Amino acid sequence: MAKTGAKSPRKTKTIPYDVAEQLRTPEEMAAYLDAWFEEAPDDAAGIARALGDIARARGMTQVARDAGLSRESLYKALGEDGNPSFATVLKVARALGVRLHAQVA
């Protein structure tokens, strides 16, 4: 039997985590993208989402404008189910001010 007046356990309040809120400087953005290339080099969808995270941190409207794309197409290309062309990836990288580079594996 429950005691009268007993307090119910407190529920933990959670909020969704958004990595874009943590990417504040160009160096942090580049390091985040570089980490994706290092840790998951074969995860094209993950790398596209990472570009999307960085674009959201910078401001999707401005990045779309700088890349010569519509905001909607940028969200679609870099979203959860996006599959951007390599040309789109290059345009977005240029608009974000990051460079892709190759090194011996």
Judge whether 57 lies within some domain: yes
pLDDT category at 5 given cuts 50, 70, 90 is: low
Judge whether 17 lies within some domain: no
Q: 26-71, pLDDT tens digit by residue?
A: 999 999 999 999 999 999 999 999 999 999 999 999 999 999 999 9
Structurally, the chain folds into a number of domains equal to 1
Judge whether 61 lies within some domain: yes
Judge whether 45 lies within some domain: yes
Judge whether 15 lies within some domain: no
Q: Which amino acid makes up residue 27?
A: E
Judge whether 78 lies within some domain: yes
Q: Dump the DSSP string for 33-96.
A: HHHHHHH-TT-HHHHHHHHHHHHHHH-HHHHHHHHT--HHHHHHHHSTT----HHHHHHHHHHH
Instruction: Residue 46: give the domain boundaries.
Output: 25-96
> Rounded to two decimals, what is the model's pTM?
0.81
Judge whether 13 lies within some domain: no
Span 88-102, average pLDDT: 92
